Amino acid sequence: MAVPSSCDWTHDVFLSFRGTDTRNTFTGNLFNSLQQRGINTFFDEDTIHEGDEITPTLLQAIEHSRIFIAVFSKDYASSTFCLNELVTILECAKPPPGRLFIPIFYDVDPSHIRYLTGTYGKAFKKHEKRFRNDKDKVQKWRNALLQAANVAGCHFKPGSESEYKFIRKIVDKISIEINRVHLNVASKPVGLKSQMLKVKSLLESNERVIMVGIYGIGGIGKSTLARAVHNLVADQFEGVCYLADIRQKTTNDDLAHLQETLLSEILGEKDIKVVDVHKGISMIKRRLQRKKVLLILDNIEKDKQLQVLVGGHDWFGSGSKIIITTRNKHLLATHGIVKVYEVQQLNKENALELFSCHAFKHGKLDPSYVDTAKRAVSYCHGLPLALEVIGSQLFGKSLAVWKSSLDIYDGVICKDIHDILKVSYDVLEENEKGIFLDIACFFNSYEIGYVKEILYLHGFHAENGIKDLTDKSLMKIDINGCVRMHDLIQDMGRAIVRQESTLEPGRRSRLWFSDDILHVLEENKGTDSIEVIIADLRKDRKVKWCGKAFGQMKNLKVLIIRNGVFSQSPQILPSSLKVLDWSGYQSSSLPFDFNPKNLAILNLPESYLKQFESFKVFEMLNFLDFEACKYLTEIPSLSRLPKLGALCVDYCTNLVRIHDSVGYLERLVLLSAQGCTQLEILVPCINLPSLETLDLRGCSCLERFPEVVGVMENIKDVYLDQTAIKQLPFTFENLVGLQRLFLRGCQRMIQLPSYIFPKCEIITSYGCRGFRSFNNEEKVRPKVFVDAMLVHNEGGWSYLNMYSRYTTSNDVLEVCTPLCETNFSRFRDKEGSASNKSSLSFWFRNNFPRIALMCQVEYEKHLDNMVLNFELNVLINGTKQLTSSCEYIFYTEKVTTQTLNFDVICKVEGVFSENEWNLVEILCEFKRLIPCDFEGGMAYRDWTTKRIVKWVFLIENKGDDLSYLDNPNSPMSTEEKFLEIEEIKERLLVLTILILLCQQLKRISRDTRNK
């Protein structure tokens, strides 16, 4: 049976289950939860299988699934199909590693499976009788069940714990497993296998915890070898972490962050915070000492890095393996690591093969190039990095160019790796050289989109330049979209910049080293040679300067300062600046004579800024960020910022006003004001045709959404989580491109305009997918019945609007505010009825009576908030006269029964037959909107639609013009009249009880609000 590689899995999870036992209950709910978390799960849709054998489609699904979950229910073993499926699954789950089998014992004791007792024993007695001529098949089933029962699995007994909590644990476990992806090793892993097996052999020991060191010179392939070993053994551990390129991370903040990453990846927890390295050591010991882990520390340079990350064998659980790569063998010895492996240079044959892979199309050595290729390989000394760089440089070139290029290497005297690599830099064009130096000095490991933006602002053509550098193997872009440059290549690039002025950093084009930057600022040594400064300072680092050091930097284009405590504010900023990014900027304003005519990015997070001088000429400004500026109270007019594409004022907790002009910025793509807790109104109106994201999360005082005065086609996401908004305006429908509306923790938001549902996903709970309407047809703006329905929700009673799109030529019926809610005495002389039927009906003559209705429907207790659609239909004489609906959020944490009150009236008299009896039929229906990733529906078909379970209605007493008979034109006998009277009495009794209950709920709700 073919076993796919880790990147070939078609399904993350394959579910095996007995359909009649759990398809529409536990397994269906498990499938839906897995899908909601983005876990691709195979769920067999066939409810009936003909025969016992597995179909080719099912076999393929099993072969291409990574994780198998078998739900063992009471009748699982009675299905020969399930047993054959289990045999196949366990066969696929065998080594090589990379796959996982998880049994779930659903209301079944594993011992019943192991020893074939109970229902499993009964099932096998039947199988033995039926297959008495095929005992081998039955024995295979026995062995499979025994093997499965001996695997540590998950036990669930209905009623012993909440099913959704049990399912959440399983989904969390699966999520951790599938996130443990294999690392990218090398596109051409020449000569790697033998070295990988040697390291693996060092890990095979009975020692409680094993530490292995991999050492060798730079560019030899230590990191590549470590990643290959990771992929070989990672699936054998409870937790895995690979910390890449630790070499330059030496400060306490850096090391604490590494400890956070280590704990987060191994434990699968996102919110772990490490305050300092000493506490981090204690946390690692406490959390991991009983856990079997694989930890790989790549490119260690300092002993302190080892001390705070893997200080002792007793930090980790039995069976743990620690792999450390370094250039310094002595460092391993001082830490007591005796199991070491020195990475070997490639031999001539492997070196020529690897070189050819990069120098020739399809990796095939051209016979006419053999001698010249061997000459090139000789310069590389078996170093994979050098072979890749030189081979990529020569790719596609003629033989003559090859020879002239290699002549340059003959002129390299030292012929060490740095000199060899520098030849590849020297042949670059000026644009590519500039990009290379920027990445080497500043942007290694940065996200590629951000890098391109800064490179463009520095004056380079980033797109073509990055492609050329990638083609020449001087850099790579990893699977996460981040720039990766080998540390040897990075060192070579930084050495080139240092050579611009070996003694005075102020005469170099780029400054990145903190000591050099502080020297230039404190000694006022700036010159017009400096183009980029990016300073990552310690938080407590004091900078004693005069504030005028930037005055001489006439060509400074990019200034990024993170942290540091400056003795005074800058008095001068050069007008050449295109990027000003200063965290903790300590002045209340920008320098008075600063001319920001070239500035494209202004980012001043956590600064002391009190006012923003928008009267300055910011004609090029594209990005404006004042995140966490606690002294900022107002955003002035931004009408003179025509190119502004992003405005961020997140967590400006004293911000109270944003100028109206912000609502009319034509190029604005992002508007974010998260956590502005004093902001009561964003802007009165918005017409932002380019806007894609509007984020108002945590604006707890925000009570009103702006009127949308123009059509906004590009909007995708609107976040209103934890705001005080009660209702969205009708103009909300102008957000025609809206894809997602977030209303999590928005307790005052109950009413939802129904016309937005077909267009977007409504998210009301954290950690869950949202909902869409059942009906995706285009809808016209409806007729609105304001405050027509009273609904009892978790926060008490609320008035909701009702919407009607169906109107007749008469258009005389309306839904209106219930009178019985405000004054029950108004209905003392009314007739009443209580029912649990699917519809209500009565007969009337002359004028249509006012009807007061109270509807109740009960949902099962559910963790997540529900989005409900209530629909009312009124038919008179078989013709639909009114269809009205309301979509709203039902908060389900405490309340499971829905109660709604509303009245129906006829606004015109004499419309219907006066002398003839008119039949009135009233139908009400609740729908729970389906999840957006809902596909099969097997787990949730039972609750997408609910009929009314109890309702009460009051009707104006019309005397002889009102009847509950099936047909009032038919005469009644004395006995029928007596039964009708008794039925009316019984209905009135139920009605009185429900009205009293309603009044009591109102009092409780009112008292709660008063408290």
Amino acid sitting at position 814: E
Residue 120 has pLDDT above 70, yes or no: yes
504 flagged as catalytic = no
Q: What is the DSSP string of 253-289?
A: HHHHHHHHHHHHHHHT-S----SSHHHHHHHHHHHHT
- For the ranges 467-481, 566-580, 666-680, the lowest mean pLDDT is seen at 467-481
Separation between Cα atoms, residue 656 and residue 577, nearest integer Å: 30
Q: Is 116 left (phi over 0), alpha (psi -120 to 50) or beta?
A: left
- For the ranges 35-39, 49-53, 100-104, 968-972, the lowest mean pLDDT is seen at 49-53
Q: What was the pLDDT predicted at 612?
A: 86
Q: What was the pLDDT predicted at 408?
A: 80
Contacts of 118 (CB under 8 A, 6+ apart): 74, 108, 109, 112
Amino acid sitting at position 973: S
Quickly tell me which residue has 């990445």 as its tokens.
439
**Of residues 56 and 622, more confidently modeled:** 622
Quickly tell me which residue has 């609007």 as its tokens.
801
Ordered by start, the domain boundaries in the chain are 6-179, 193-342, 347-415, 428-499, 783-1000
Separation between Cα atoms, residue 752 and residue 772, nearest integer Å: 12
For residue 698 the two structure tokens come to: 């945590």
Q: What was the pLDDT predicted at 135?
A: 87
Q: What percent of the chain has pLDDT over 90?
A: 46
Q: What was the pLDDT predicted at 1?
A: 46
Among 918, 896, 661, which Cα is nearest to 812's? 918
Q: What was the pLDDT predicted at 944?
A: 47
Among 261, 339, 243, 259, which Cα is nearest to 299's? 243
For residue 1010 the two structure tokens come to: 């008063």
Residue 410 has pLDDT above 80, yes or no: no
Q: What was the pLDDT predicted at 943?
A: 41
Q: Tell me the pLDDT tens digit for each residue of 770-813.
A: 777 654 444 456 788 888 888 876 666 788 888 886 655 567 88
Q: What was the pLDDT predicted at 745?
A: 87
Contact status, residue 186 vs residue 385, Cβ threshold 8 Å = no
Report in angstroms the alpha-carbon separations of 5 from 9, 61, 99, 432.
7, 14, 11, 37
Architecture (CATH level 2) of domain 6-179: 3-Layer(aba) Sandwich (3.40)
DSSP 441: I
* CATH code, residues 428-499: 1.10.10.10
Report in angstroms the alpha-carbon separations of 611 from 416, 607, 631, 657.
55, 11, 9, 12
Kindly state the average pLDDT of the residues 397-425.
79
Catalytic residue among 85, 531, 831, 956: 85
For residue 697 the two structure tokens come to: 């999360």
Contact status, residue 299 vs residue 247, Cβ threshold 8 Å = yes
For residue 291 the two structure tokens come to: 């856990």
Quickly tell me which residue has 């009092």 as its tokens.
1003
Quickly tell me which residue has 């033995």 as its tokens.
128
Kindly state the average pLDDT of the residues 676-696.
97
Phi and psi, residue 981, nearest 5°? -60, -45
Q: What percent of the chain has pLDDT over 70?
A: 83
- For the ranges 184-188, 255-259, 548-552, the lowest mean pLDDT is seen at 184-188
- pLDDT band at residue 888 under the 50/70/90 scheme: confident
Within this chain, domains 6-179 and 193-342 share the same CATH topology: yes
First vs last C-alpha separation in the chain? 69
Burial class of 571 by CB neighbour count within 10 A (0 to 12, 13 to 18, 19+): middle
**Of residues 762 and 145, more confidently modeled:** 145
Q: What was the pLDDT predicted at 1002?
A: 59
Burial class of 152 by CB neighbour count within 10 A (0 to 12, 13 to 18, 19+): exposed
Q: Tell me the pLDDT tens digit for each residue of 522-557.
A: 999 999 999 999 999 988 889 999 999 999 999 999
Q: What was the pLDDT predicted at 832?
A: 46
Kindly state the average pLDDT of the residues 756-781.
65
Contact status, residue 806 vs residue 880, Cβ threshold 8 Å = yes
Kindly state the average pLDDT of the residues 865-886.
85
Contacts of 744 (CB under 8 A, 6+ apart): 721, 722, 763, 764, 765, 766
Q: What was the pLDDT predicted at 895?
A: 57
Between strands 339-342 and 476-477, the pairing is: unpaired
Residue 425 has pLDDT above 70, yes or no: yes
Among 637, 682, 632, 681, which Cα is nearest to 652's? 632
Separation between Cα atoms, residue 59 and residue 53, nearest integer Å: 10
Kindly state the average pLDDT of the residues 411-429.
76
For residue 758 the two structure tokens come to: 């077909």
Q: Helix H segments across 786-854?
A: 819-822
Q: What was the pLDDT predicted at 568?
A: 92
* CATH code, residues 193-342: 3.40.50.300
Residue 936 has pLDDT above 60, yes or no: no
Q: What was the pLDDT predicted at 418?
A: 79
Q: What was the pLDDT predicted at 671?
A: 98
